[in-house]
C-alpha cells in the first residue's frame, strides 16, 4: 500500500475539527457538509473489506428518511447484508481519526484482519437523489482509487437495489443479474407470474397510489412500470419533480404523524402507500368512509405475508421451521394474532434491522419487519430446494401450483434487505391472490391503541435494558415502577429504551383505549424523568 498517496489524497478531504461520529445500523448520518472526509475513508475501508472477504463490497451514499440537507453512508457486505458489527468499530475509528492518526488506524485494521494488500478489490457504489450525493460519491471513489482498486459506479439507485447488485456479483449471478435492469426483470417476472394466477379479475386492473417521498424510489418505480405488463397501475405522488426530499411526506412522516402526506387528497377506501427517501421502508394506509385514517405498518405487512406463506406451506404439506421476528415496538395485537390464530411462532429482537435480520436467519423461513415498515423475508437454501423439488416432481395439480407460487414469491422478495418496491409488489400480489381489499387486510386484527414519547435526560447511558429491550435493569427501581403503572390499565404494556443517537429515553405504551395508552405513556415518562435524571421541564399530560 502506497501510504503516501493515501495520506496526500486524504488531505484533500479534510476532517472538520472536533467532529465525532458513530457507525450504527444506519451507517453514518449527519449534515452533508461534514461528510466529505468520511466518504473518502469509507472508500478506503470498503477496499480493505473487499480484500479481506475476496468479494465485491457496496458503498451506498444516502441518509434514508433524514431531511434533504443531511447525508450518510452505509457499507454493504458480500451477500447484500449490512456491514458486520466488528467492522462498525473500524468504520468509527477511521472516520474519527485525525489526519496524523490515519496511517496508524489503517495499519491496525490491516494487521488485525490479516489483510493481504496484494489481493484485488472491487467496490460497487450507489447514491440517492440528494443534491450532495454526487460529490460525496466522488469522495468515495477517491478513497477506492487511492488504494489502486477497481470500482463500479452505479449512479442513482435505491439502497435495496445496491444490496441486490452486491449479492448478485458475489453469487456469480445465481441470485440474479447484477444490474438495475436485472433487478427489474427478476421482480417483474415473479410479480406477473403470481398475479396471473389470481382468480378472474375481469378487466379490473389493480390501481395503487404511491408517495415516493420526492426520492430515488419514485424515480426507479417510474422506470420499472414498463416491466409490469400493465398488471398494476401506479399513480405517483411526490415524485421528485417538485418538493423537498422527505419534507412532509414519505413513510417516516406518515408513520410518526399518523396522517397522509401533505398535498395528497385520499378518496375514502383508496389504497395508498409511502416509501422513505432511499426506498427501503414502506407503509400502507387509507381513509375510511367517515374520513378516519388507517395505517397498515410493518406489523400488518409481516402478518399478511407470513399468513400467506403459512397457507401455501399447509397446501403443499411441507413442514418448515417458520417464524416472525418483531421488536418490542410491535403492536401486541399482531403478536397475539400470529401466535394464537395463525400458530406462527414470534420472536422479539432488539431494535435495529441488523438484529432482526440476524435472528430471522435462524429459521427455514424468517419474516421480519420493524413497525416503521422496514423488513423482508429470509428463505434458507434448504427450504428453497425442498420447495423447488416439489414444484418439479409433485403430481397433484393443487400442490404443484402452490409450490410454484412459493417459488415466484421467493424471486419477488429481496432477501438482502428491506425493499419498498419489492415489498409493495409482494403485498399487491398477495392481495390479488386472496381477493383482499386494503380494508379486508386491515380487518385481520385491530391494533391496540398506543403512544410513543421522548424524555430528555442528562445521560441516556443510565438506562440499561434486557429481554430485547422490553425490560430495564438500570437505574434501580425504574422497572418496578413501570410494572406497577401497567397494572392499572387493561391489555396494557410499556417499555423504555435509550435512544441510539441522542440523550433521550424513548417511551412506548399501549392499552385498551387511546386515552389509557396516553395516560400510561405520560405516567411512565414521569417515572423516567424522576428516576433516570430528566432535564428541562417535567413531561406534561397529552
Q: Which residues are annotated as a binding site for Mg(2+)?
A: 64, 276, 278, 280
Closest CA to 283 of 249, 307, 255: 255
Q: Which of 349, 389, 339, 396 has the alpha carbon at shortest distance from 369?
A: 349
Binding residues: 64, 276, 278, 280, 370-372, 497-501, 506
Catalytic option among 10, 11, 55, 64 = 64
Residue 67 CA to residue 277 CA, distance in Å, equals 9
Q: Are 372 and 255 in contact (CB under 8 A)?
A: yes
**29 membership: H or E segment, kind and range:** strand 28-31
DSSP bridge pairs for 236:
210
- Residue 375 near residue 303, CB atoms below 8 Å: no
- State the sign of the Cα–Cα–Cα–Cα dihedral 23, 25, 26, 30: negative
Helix (H) or strand (E) holding 134: helix 133-146
Alpha-carbon gap, residue 240 to 231, rounded angstroms: 24
Beta pairing partners, 74: 60
* Stated length of the chain: 542
CA distances 52 to 4, 340, 381, Å, are 22, 46, 25
- For the annotated binding site for substrate, the residues are 370-372, 497-501, 506
Residue of 218, 252, 250, 249 lying closest to 235 (CA atoms): 218
Name the 3-class secondary structure at 416: coil
Active site residue 188: no
Q: CB neighbours of 434 closer than 8 A, spacing ≥ 6?
A: 308, 440
Number of H helices, E strands in the chain: 18, 19
Radius of gyration of the chain (CA): 24
Residues 6+ positions from 86 with CB-CB distance below 8 Å: none
Whole-number Å distance between alpha carbons of 271 and 304: 15
> Could you give the residue numbers annotated as active site?
64
Amino acid at each position: 500500500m502506497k501510504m503516501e498517496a493515501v495520506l496526500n489524497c486524504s488531505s484533500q478531504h479534510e476532517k472538520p475539527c472536533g467532529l465525532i461520529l458513530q457507525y450504527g445500523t444506519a451507517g453514518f448520518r449527519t449534515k452533508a457538509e461534514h461528510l466529505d472526509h468520511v466518504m473518502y475513508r469509507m472508500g478506503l475501508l470498503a477496499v480493505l473489506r473487499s480484500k479481506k472477504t475476496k468479494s465485491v463490497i457496496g458503498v451506498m451514499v444516502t441518509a434514508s428518511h433524514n431531511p434533504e440537507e443531511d447525508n450518510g453512508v452505509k457499507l454493504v457486505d458480500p451477500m447484500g447484508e449490512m456491514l458486520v458489527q466488528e467492522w462498525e468499530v473500524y468504520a468509527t475509528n477511521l472516520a474519527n481519526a485525525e489526519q496524523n492518526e490515519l496511517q496508524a488506524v489503517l495499519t491496525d485494521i490491516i494487521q488485525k484482519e490479516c489483510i493481504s494488500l496484494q489481493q484485488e478489490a472491487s467496490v460497487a457504489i450507489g447514491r440517492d437523489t440528494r443534491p450532495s450525493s454526487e460529490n460525496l460519491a466522488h469522495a468515495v471513489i477517491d478513497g477506492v482509487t487511492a488504494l489502486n482498486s477497481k470500482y463500479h459506479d452505479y449512479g442513482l439507485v435505491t439502497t435495496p437495489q445496491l444490496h441486490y447488485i452486491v449479492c448478485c456479483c458475489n453469487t456469480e449471478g445465481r441470485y440474479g443479474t447484477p444490474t438495475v435492469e436485472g433487478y427489474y426483470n427478476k421482480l417483474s417476472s415473479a410479480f406477473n407470474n403470481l398475479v396471473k394466477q389470481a382468480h378472474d379479475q375481469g378487466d379490473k386492473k389493480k390501481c395503487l397510489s404511491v408517495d415516493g417521498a420526492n426520492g430515488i424510489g419514485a424515480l426507479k418505480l417510474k422506470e420499472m412500470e414498463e416491466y409490469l405488463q400493465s398488471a398494476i397501475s401506479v399513480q405517483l405522488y411526490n415524485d421528485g419533480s417538485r418538493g423537498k426530499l422527505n419534507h412532509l411526506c414519505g413513510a417516516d412522516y406518515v408513520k410518526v404523524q399518523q396522517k397522509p402526506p401533505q398535498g395528497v387528497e385520499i378518496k375514502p377506501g383508496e389504497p395508498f402507500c409511502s416509501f422513505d427517501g432511499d426506498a427501503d421502508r414502506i407503509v400502507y394506509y387509507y381513509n375510511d368512509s367517515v374520513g378516519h385514517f388507517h395505517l397498515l405498518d410493518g406489523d400488518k405487512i409481516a402478518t399478511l405475508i407470513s399468513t400467506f406463506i403459512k397457507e401455501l406451506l399447509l397446501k403443499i404439506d411441507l413442514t418448515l421451521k417458520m417464524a416472525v421476528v418483531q421488536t418490542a415496538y410491535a403492536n401486541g395485537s399482531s403478536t397475539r394474532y400470529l401466535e394464537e390464530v395463525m400458530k406462527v411462532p414470534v420472536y422479539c429482537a432488539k431494535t435495529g434491522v441488523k438484529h432482526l435480520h440476524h435472528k430471522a436467519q435462524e429459521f427455514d423461513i424468517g419474516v421480519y419487519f420493524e413497525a416503521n415498515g422496514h423488513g423482508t423475508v429470509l428463505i434458507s437454501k434448504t427450504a428453497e430446494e425442498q420447495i423447488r423439488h416439489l414444484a418439479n416432481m409433485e403430481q397433484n395439480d393443487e400442490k404443484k401450483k402452490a409450490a410454484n407460487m412459493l417459488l415466484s414469491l421467493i424471486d419477488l422478495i429481496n432477501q438482502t434487505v428491506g425493499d419498498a418496491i419489492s415489498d409493495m409488489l409482494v403485498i399487491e400480489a398477495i392481495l390479488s391472490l386472496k381477493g383482499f381489499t386494503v380494508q379486508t387486510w386491515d380487518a385481520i386484527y385491530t391494533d391496540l391503541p398506543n403512544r410513543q414519547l421522548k424524555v430528555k435526560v442528562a445521560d441516556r447511558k443510565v438506562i440499561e435494558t434486557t429481554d430485547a429491550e422490553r425490560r430495564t435493569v438500570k437505574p434501580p427501581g425504574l422497572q418496578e415502577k413501570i410494572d406497577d403503572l401497567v397494572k392499572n390499565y387493561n391489555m396494557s404494556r410499556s417499555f423504555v429504551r435509550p435512544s441510539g443517537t441522542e440523550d433521550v429515553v424513548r417511551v412506548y405504551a399501549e392499552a385498551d383505549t387511546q386515552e389509557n395508552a396516553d395516560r400510561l405513556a405520560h405516567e411512565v415518562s414521569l417515572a423516567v424523568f424522576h428516576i433516570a435524571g430528566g432535564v428541562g421541564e417535567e413531561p406534561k399530560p397529552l
